Amino acid sequence: MSSNTLKLQNINKHYGKYKHALCNFTYEFTNGIYGLLGPNGAGKSTLMNIITDNLLPDKDGGKILWNSEETRLLKDKFRSRLGFMPQQQNLYESMSAHSFLNYIAALKCLDRTYAEREIPAIVERVELSDSIDKKMGGFSGGMKQRVLIATALLGDPDLIILDEPTAGLDPKQRVIIRNMVSDLGKDKIIIISTHIVSDIETIAKEILFIKEGHLIDSGTIPTLVEKVENAEKSLENLYMQYYGEVQK
C-alpha cells in the first residue's frame, strides 16, 4: 500500500477586489477519508478546484505539494494520480454509461485495452452493472452521481476529490454513496466536500470546518465533539455551534 501526502500551504484566492474566497488555507492530508464541512459559499468548491488545477490561486497565493513536490511543476504527472468528481452533473444524456466512461478514459489518456478491462470492474463497484449500456438520460439522480464517481475512479488514482457527491439525493441514495466511498478510503486520500454532516461523520478520518474561506477547526471526530458547548456532544451540534444550523 502506497503512502501519499498532500500539503496545502497558505492557499489564497480572491474573486475581484473584495471577495476573499480562501484565506491562508493550510493543511496536510495522508491516506484516508477527510470531510470538508461548511455551508454553501464557505469556499469548499473553490478549494477543490484549486487542488485539481481547475482554478489558479492568487499570484503568490500559496503552494500545493504532492509527496513534497509542487503540483504546478509536476503538471500531468500529478493530474494522472488525481480523480475528481465535480458538483455539477455534466453528463451527455444521449450516451450510455459505458460510452461515457470510455470517453472520459480517452480524455485521461488511458490505454484503450486497459480502460476496457477497468470500466466493467468500476461499474460493478458503483453498482451500475445492470445499466452500463443504458442511456444516462433515463438515470435517477443517484445513478448519475455514481457514474460521476466511476469517472473519478478511472486510472486507479491515489487522490480522489468529491465535491458534494450526495447533492440532491434522498437519504437512501446518500447511504449508498457513503458506503461506496467508505470502501475506497483504505489506501487513497479522499477529500469529500459537503454541507451534510451525516454524509461523513461515520467514515471520515478527520473533519475540516471551513467558514468564509478560513479553516476554523479540524481534527478527528472524538476530538472535535469535545468542543461542543452543551451536554449533547455530537458533530451536528458542533456544526450548529459554528454555523447556526444543521443542513440535512
pLDDT tens, residue by residue, 237-248:
999 999 987 655
C-alpha cell at 163: 465535491
Instruction: Give how far Cα 29 sits from Cα of 34, 66, 71, 220, Å.
Output: 8, 10, 14, 13
Count other Cβ atoms within 10 Å, centred on residue 214.
16
Name the CA radius of gyration of the chain, rounded. 18
Q: Which residue has the cell 478546484?
A: 49
C-alpha cell at 153: 475512479
Give residue 246's pLDDT: 64
Give residue 186's pLDDT: 75
Contact (CB, 8 A) for 118 and 101 = no
Give residue 169's pLDDT: 80
In sequence order, the 6+-apart residues with CB closer than 8 A to the CB of 203 are 33, 178, 181, 182, 185
pLDDT tens, residue by residue, 135-170:
999 998 888 888 999 999 999 999 999 998 887 788
Give residue 176's pLDDT: 83
Q: Which residue has the cell 478491462?
A: 117
Give residue 19's pLDDT: 87
Give residue 195's pLDDT: 86
Beta-bridge mates of residue 69: 66
Instruction: Give the chain's residues under pLDDT 70.
Output: 1-2, 88-89, 246-248
The mean pLDDT of the chain is 90
